[in-house]
Amino acid sequence: MMHRSVFDAGELTSEFENSGVNPRFIPLIWRHVIQNPNCEWTDIPSLPSAAYTVLRTKFKPLTSSVHSVIDSTDDVTTKLLIKLQNGAFVEAVIMRYDTRLGKYAGKPRPGGPRSTLCISSQVGCKMGCKFCATGSMGFKSNLSSGEIVEQLVHASRISLIRNVVFMGMGEPLNNYTALVEAVRIMSRSPFQLSLKRITVSTVGIVHAINKLHNDLPGLNLAVSLHAPVQEIRCQIMPAARAFPLEKLMSALRVYQSSSKQRIFIEYIMLDGVNDEDQHAHQLGKLLETYEVVVNLIPFNPIGSLSKFRTSGDEKVLTFQKILRGIYNIRTTVRKQMGQDISGACGQLVVDASDKRSTVSAGVLTDIEDIIHR
């Protein structure tokens, strides 16, 4: 019988309550495990005897392990290959930023170094986006809330994590219950991450977006839009057929009305597919009445899987100028991170054998700078 992760909060709380153990001991247990990942349950002091019995018979401190750690050549990105107890693998990526290197309104930014963790919510993904390596894996399984949180535990031993983005393997809103529980755990002691520092990215699962603000008020929402019209979206994102653009935009309107927060729009730039001037104008008209930040993402090649080409720099800048200058939409261009270790956007796939070119990230803009400016 497989033991559950001690970070599966719902299961642990239920087992404790059934055994007469006060759940207030849970943060203490988590803190001990974070500091001592190879601990025995008896190493944790001052727990009720029934708590030790529950932990010993039904839970493990960590159900996953770090199989490998790969650093990019520029030392700003680290990819963790994490092995689950069922033998499957997922990937998480640490991205390091130094706010002081960038400028805002012509002046150096305040602050200093910080790290953002990109984590996975599923093994594989059923969305099948044509430009994404993870989609080529197909869907294998959902992660439990504990398996999601354990990625943060592993990463925290390498770098102090300030922000978390659900932009790794899988569609987070297709694993809704585990996602919500994992985010709630991350916002509790001992992690204490503000919901303002957690971002969930989705291709646009409308019925889940409709619930998200009530379940996780304050959370940042990112939408993988990638095309300004339904026809192009369906060509590159098969899931768009189930979630038409008109219904998605209506859901975002309601979400924004309730949350009063900006929505983060992700737009991958595919040469000759969605990067022409007309597409920029279509996108501007689609979004001009919303409070959004558009992030233009240069396409990251995925070796033999690649059917697309990366848009040229001039096209990307022209696209950005149209959105900014004509439609007054805040628009950023994502800098490449971790491309040489297949840790960049769209490159997360277990056992990918294609070699990637080595790149340097340069000055980087963090999710925190984009969302909270």
Catalytic residue numbers?
A: 91, 345
Spatial contact of 213 and 259, defined as CB atoms under 8 Å apart: yes
Q: Which residues contact residue 73 at a Cβ distance below 8 angstroms, ignoring those fewer than 6 apart? A: 340, 358, 360
Q: Which residue has the tokens 């949350």?
A: 259
Using DSSP's 3-state secondary structure scheme, residue 355 falls into: coil
Strands (E), the chain: 4-5, 59-60, 65-71, 77-83, 89-98, 103-104, 107-108, 113-118, 122-124, 139-142, 161-166, 198-202, 220-224, 263-269, 292-298, 330-333
Q: What is the largest CA-CA distance in the chain?
A: 68
Type of residue found at 247: K
Strands 198-202 and 161-166: parallel
**DSSP at 107:** E
The DSSP code for 114 is E
Encoding tokens for residue 351? 């056992």
